[in-house]
Amino acid sequence: MTNDNQSTDVTDGFHLVIDALKHNDIDTIFGLVGIPITDLARLAQAEGMRFIGFRHEQNAGNAAAIAGYMTQKPGICLTVSAPGFLNGLTALANATTNCFPMILISGSSEREIVDLQQGDYEEMDQLNIAKPFAKASYRINHAADIGIGVARAIRAAVSGRPGGVYLDLPAKLLSQTMDSAAGKKSLVRVVDAVPRQLPAPESVARALDLLKSAKRPLIILGKGAAYAQADADIRAFVEHSGIPYLPMSMAKGLLPDTHAQSASAARSYVLAEADVVMLVGARLNWLLAHGKGKTWGAPKRFIQIDISPTEIDSNVAIEAPVIGDIGSCIAALLNGLKSSPLKPDAEWVAAIQSRKDKNSAKMAQLLDSKPSPMNFHSALRAIRDVLKTRPDINVVNEGANTLDFARSIIDMQQPRKRFDSGTWGIMGIGMGYAVGAAVTSGLPVVAIEGDSAFGFSGMELETICRYRLPVTTIIFNNNGVYRGTDVNPSGGADVAPTVFVKGARYDKMIEAFGGIGYHATTASDLSSALREAIAAGKPALINAVIDESAGTESGRLTNLNPATAAHKK
C-alpha cells in the first residue's frame, strides 16, 4: 500500500487521481481490483470514498452506468488491464448506447512493451480498442495532467448527449511523483459540466405550430426525458396540452403510469392513428419500429426534442426538430403553450379511452386467473400489488417474456425508478444495475429477472450480501432461455439449446452468502415472500416457479428471429 506520509511535499499519481475525483464531488467507485490499481482502490477508501468491489467488471460497469443515469454525474468503474478492461468494455459500450454518463478507468501495462508487442503482463492497446465504444477516450501520461485529464473525462461523459468515456491510466503514471503543492494546483474543478442548451426560438415556434395543426397528437417520452430531471415541467406540459402520451420503458413513472393521459394501454392504436407525434428524449430506433411501417400506419409528422442534432432525420424526416436540453426546450414550449393554449380533439381522446378500457378489461382477466403453476401474468399480478404500496422502490427488469410482461403490468409512480435492458435489449444488466441503484439511492431494489437473464450476473449475489444491500431478486424460473419445453431434435443426450436444469433452486444460491432464500410456487407464496423481504430490507432471492410452457420464443420480438429457409428431411 502506498505510504501516505512518506513526505508531505510529494504526491503521486495514485493520490492525484483520487484527489481529482473528490475535487469534482465524485464519492463512489465501482470496480474490481488487481495489478496495477489495487492501491488506488485502497486509497479511495482511505480517503473517504466508497469502493464497491464486484465479482466481474461488467457488473461494476453496469452499476456505474446506472448511477450516472440516476444522478447526471458520471458513474466510475475501475478495472485492471487487458481482460479486466475488456470485461468492463461491454458495460461502457452499453452506457454509450443508452446515453448514460460513466467513466471506465483502467490501469494499463508498460507502453513501450505494449507498442512493440513484446508480450507484457496483460498487454493490450486499450486506448485504441475503447475508441469505437466510447463517446471519448483519453490516456494520461504525466502526473501533472491528472487534474485536466479527469476533468476532461467528466465533461465528455455528461455534457451534450451523455455517454461512456474511457480513461487509460498506465501503471507508471500511478507511481509517478510530483511536488504536492503543484499537484494540488493542477486539480481542475469542472464548471457547469451540464450546461443548459437553449433551443432556437424559431424551432420552438415551428414545433408549437405543428402541434396546433394536429388533430390526433401524441407525445412519446423516452429515457432522455427521465434523465433530464425536468419532471415538473414535463408533467406541466403534458397536462396543459391535454395531449395523450406514451412513456418508453425507462420513462415510466416520469408521470405516474396511472395518469389519465397515459395511452400505454392503447399503444398500438395511438402509434397507428396519431397524425403528429412529439418525441421527447426518445430515438426512432427499433424500439419504435424506426418511425415507419405497419406499426405507424399512415406516415406521421414528427416533432423531436433532443440534445443531439444528428439524431434528427436518423430514420424518417423530422418536420420540427427542437435542439437543446430537454429542461430548456420543455420550458420554452410550455411558455408558448400558456400564451396560446391547445385543446386536443375530443373524439381522439374518447377513442383512446375506449381502447384503453377494452384492453384493460382483457388484461384484468389475465391478471385475475390463478393458474398452477404460475404463469407470467399471475406472478406479476402478485408483484404489482406489493409494489403498488411502495412507490419509492427501484425496479430492475430483464429477460424476454419477463421483461415484456413486467413492463406493461408493473406500474411506476416515480421517475428514474425503472432500469431495464434498454436500447440494446441486453441481458446481464440485472445485478449490476441492482447494486448501482441500491448504493446510489439508499432505497430498496426489486429485480425482476428471467432465469436466463439472471445467470449473466448472478455471482453478484455475493456482492449484494457483502454490502448488505436491500435488494430482492425475483427469478422467473421456467427452466430455460424463453421457455423450458424444447427438446433436442436429434434425439441425442444433450438438452435443447434453450433448456436449463429443470427445477433449479436459485434460492439456495443466496443462502450460501447469508442472504434469505424463498421458494414460491403460488402467487400467494410470492406475494408474502416479497412483502417479507422488502420489510426486512436485507438481501433476498425469491425463486418463483413459472409454467415452463408459458411465454413465447424471444417474448415480443419473435418476429426478429430470422427464419430458416432450408428444411432438411
Question: Contact residues for ligand TZD (CB under 6 A)?
Answer: 399-402, 425-428, 450-453, 476, 478, 481-482, 551, 555
147: contact with ligand ADP by CB under 6 A: no
**Which of ligand TZD, ligand ADP, none interacts with 281 (beta carbon under 5 to 8 A by kind)?**
ligand ADP
Q: Any contact of residue 404 with ligand ADP (CB under 6 A)?
A: no
Shortest distance in whole angstroms from residue 403 CB to ligand TZD: 7
Q: How many CA atoms lie within 13 A of 46 on its CB side?
A: 15
Q: How far is the CB of 401 from ligand TZD (least distance, A)?
A: 4
Structure-block grid coordinates of residue 156: 465528455
Residue nearest to ligand TZD (CB): 450
Of 40-48, 169-177, 305-313, 498-506, which segment contacts ligand ADP by CB under 6 A?
305-313
**Which residue's entry shows cell 424471444?**
554
Q: Residue 119 carries which side chain, given as an amino acid letter? A: G
Cα 60 versus chain centre, distance: 13
Interface with ligand ADP includes 223 (CB under 6 A)?
yes
- Contact pick of 222, 244, 399, 432 for ligand ADP (by CB under 6 A): 222
Instruction: Let me know: does 446 contact 388? Beta carbons within 8 Å.
Output: no
State in angstroms the smallest separation of the CB of 421 from ligand TZD.
7
Sign (positive/negative) of CA torsion 553, 554, 559, 564?
negative
**Shortest reach from residue 251's CB to ligand ADP, in Å:** 5
**Cα–chain-centroid distance for residue 144?**
35
Q: For residues 219 and 499, which CB has a smaller minimum distance to ligand TZD in the complex?
A: 499
Measured from the CB atom, the residue of 51 and 100 that comes closer to ligand TZD is 100
Q: What is the SS3 assignment for 387-433?
A: HCCCCCCEEEEECCHHHHHHHHHCCCCCCCCEEECHHHCCCCCHHHH
Q: Which is nearer to ligand TZD, 70 or 427 (CB)?
A: 427
Footprint on residues 73-102 left by ligand ADP (CB under 6 A)? 98-99
Residue nearest to ligand ADP (CB): 224
Looking at 36, 74, 107, 224, which residue binds ligand ADP (CB under 6 A)?
Answer: 224
Residue 170 interacting partner from ligand TZD, ligand ADP, none (CB closer than 5 to 8 Å by kind)? none
> Residue type at 101?
P
Question: Interhelix angle for 231-241 vs 326-339, to 10°?
Answer: 30
Examine residue 320 and tell whether it contacts ligand ADP (CB under 6 A).
no
Q: CA-to-CA distance for 16 and 178, rounded, in angstroms?
A: 10
Contact pattern from residue 405 through residue 444 relative to ligand ADP, giving x for each residue in contact according to CB under 6 A and a dash for the rest: ------------------x---------------------
Strands 102-108 and 164-170 come out as parallel
Cis amide leading into 562 (omega within 30):
no
Q: Does 308 bind ligand ADP (CB under 6 A)?
A: yes
- Output 399 or 517, the one with its CB closest to ligand TZD: 399
Strand-pairing partners, residue 394, are 445
| Cβ distance to ligand TZD smaller for residue 90 or 177 | 90
425 sits in the region (left: phi over 0; alpha: psi -120 to 50; else beta) called left
CB 102 within 8 A of CB 71: no
CB of 326 to ligand ADP, least distance (A): 4
Helix or strand (DSSP H, E) at 332? helix 326-339
Q: Which residues contact 222 (CB under 8 A, 6 or more apart)?
A: 248, 250, 251, 279, 280, 281, 282, 283
**Piece of the chain touching ligand ADP by CB under 6 A; list 111-119, 205-213, 278-286, 333-341:** 278-286
Does 227 help bind ligand ADP (rule: CB under 6 A)?
Answer: yes
- For ligand ADP, the closer of residues 121 and 424 by Cβ is 424
Interface region with ligand ADP, contact rule CB under 6 A, candidates 58-66, 280-288, 460-468, 510-518: 280-288
Picking from 276, 284, 329, the residue whose alpha carbon sits closest to that of residue 303 is 276
Give the up-direction half-sphere exposure of residue 362: CA atoms within 13 A in the CB hemisphere. Answer: 7
Identity of the residue, 305 or 379, whose beta carbon is nearer to ligand ADP in the bound complex = 305
Half-sphere exposure of 94 (CA within 13 A, CB side): 29
Q: Give the binding site for ligand ADP (CB under 6 A).
A: 98-99, 161-162, 222-224, 227-228, 248, 250-251, 281-283, 285, 287, 306-308, 311, 325-326, 423
